[in-house]
C-alpha cells in the first residue's frame, strides 16, 4: 500500500497542484448542516460554548454527519486538501504522523474539496489516513467560510477557539506549530 502511495505521490508531483478554486470570500458564520442532520456534540463539548471558529457542520467521506463543535476545548488543525494535489499527497504522511503523536491532545480534521468522492476516498485509503476524519466539501462552503483560496492550507485553532494561523505550512513548520499548540 505504501508503494502505491509513493507512486501516486510521484505522479501527482509531476502533474503539480496548479488548479485552485477562485478566491474565496468569507461566508456566513455556519455552513449548512448535512441532510442527515447534525451530529451530537461530545458530552465534554456540550458543557462549554462552541467558539465561532468551530461552529460549522459537514458530512464525512463515509457519509456521517460531523459537528466541528466536537473539536472544542483542545487545539485543532484543519487541513484543506484536494485528492489530485501533489503537495497534499506529500503532506499526507505528516498528517498521519501528527495524528499518531498528538491525536490525544489535538483535533485534526481534513476538509477535502475539488474532487470526486471516489477520488477523495482513494486518497485517504492510499495514504492510510482513515484514522483522521475527513469532510467532503464539494461546494467549497467550508473552504469559503475560512477564506481558503488554494490547497494545501491549514487553519490552526488554539484551545480557546482562536484562529492562530491560516495558510500554507511545510512539514517542519506544521510540526513546530503543533508542538507549540500542544505543549
Give the C-alpha separation, 21 to 10, whole Å: 23
* Domain definitions of the chain by residue range: 2-14+53-181
Across 24-49, average pLDDT = 42
Across 3-12, average pLDDT = 39
Concatenating the DSSP letter of every residue in the chain gives: -HHHHHHHHHHHHHH-S---PPPP----SSPPPPTT-PPPPPHHHHTSPPPGGG--EEEBTTS-EEEGGGGTTS-EEEEEE-TT-HHHHHHHHHHHHHHHHHTTT-EEEEEE-SS-HHHHHHHHHHTT-TTS-EEE-TT-HHHHHTT--SSSEEEEE-TTS-EEEEE---HHHHHHHHHHHT-
Residues 13-35: tens digit of each pLDDT: 334 454 444 333 333 333 333 33
pLDDT, residue 49, reads: 82
Residues 51-68: tens digit of each pLDDT: 899 999 999 999 999 999
Please choose, from the candidates 177, 163, 180, the residue with its C-alpha nearest in 3D space to the C-alpha of residue 68: 163
Which position has the higher pLDDT, 69 or 16?
Answer: 69
Alpha carbons within 13 A on the beta-carbon side of 33 = 9
pLDDT, residue 120, reads: 96
The CATH superfamily holding the domain 2-14+53-181 is Glutaredoxin (3.40.30.10)
Distances (CA, A) of 179 to 12, 75, 81, 109, 132: 29, 11, 22, 17, 18
Burial (CB count within 10 angstroms: exposed 0-12, middle 13-18, buried 19+), residue 152 = buried
**Mean pLDDT score of the chain, rounded to an integer?**
80
Residues 92-146: tens digit of each pLDDT: 999 999 999 999 999 999 999 999 999 999 999 999 999 999 999 988 999 999 9
pLDDT, residue 45, reads: 42
| Whether pLDDT at 41 is above 50 | no
Amino acid at each position: 500500500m505504501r508503494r502505491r502511495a509513493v507512486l501516486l505521490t510521484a505522479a501527482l508531483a509531476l502533474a503539480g497542484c496548479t488548479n485552485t478554486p477562485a478566491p474565496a470570500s468569507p461566508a456566513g458564520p455556519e455552513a449548512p448542516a448535512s441532510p442527515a442532520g447534525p451530529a451530537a456534540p461530545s458530552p465534554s463539548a456540550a458543557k462549554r460554548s462552541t467558539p465561532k471558529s468551530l461552529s460549522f457542520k459537514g458530512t464525512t467521506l463515509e457519509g456521517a454527519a460531523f459537528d466541528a463543535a466536537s473539536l472544542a476545548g483542545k487545539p485543532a488543525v484543519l487541513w484543506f486538501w484536494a485528492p489530485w494535489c501533489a503537495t497534499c499527497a506529500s503532506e499526507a504522511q505528516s498528517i498521519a504522523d501528527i495524528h499518531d503523536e498528538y491525536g490525544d491532545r489535538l483535533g485534526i480534521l481534513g476538509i477535502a474539496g475539488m474532487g470526486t468522492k471516489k477520488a477523495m476516498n482513494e486518497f485517504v485509503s492510499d495514504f492510510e489516513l482513515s484514522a483522521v476524519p475527513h469532510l467532503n466539501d464539494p461546494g467549497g462552503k467550508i473552504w469559503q467560510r475560512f477564506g481558503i483560496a488554494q490547497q494545501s492550507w491549514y487553519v490552526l485553532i488554539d484551545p480557546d477557539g482562536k484562529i492562530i494561523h491560516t495558510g500554507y505550512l511545510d512539514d517542519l513548520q506544521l510540526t513546530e506549530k503543533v508542538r507549540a499548540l500542544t505543549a
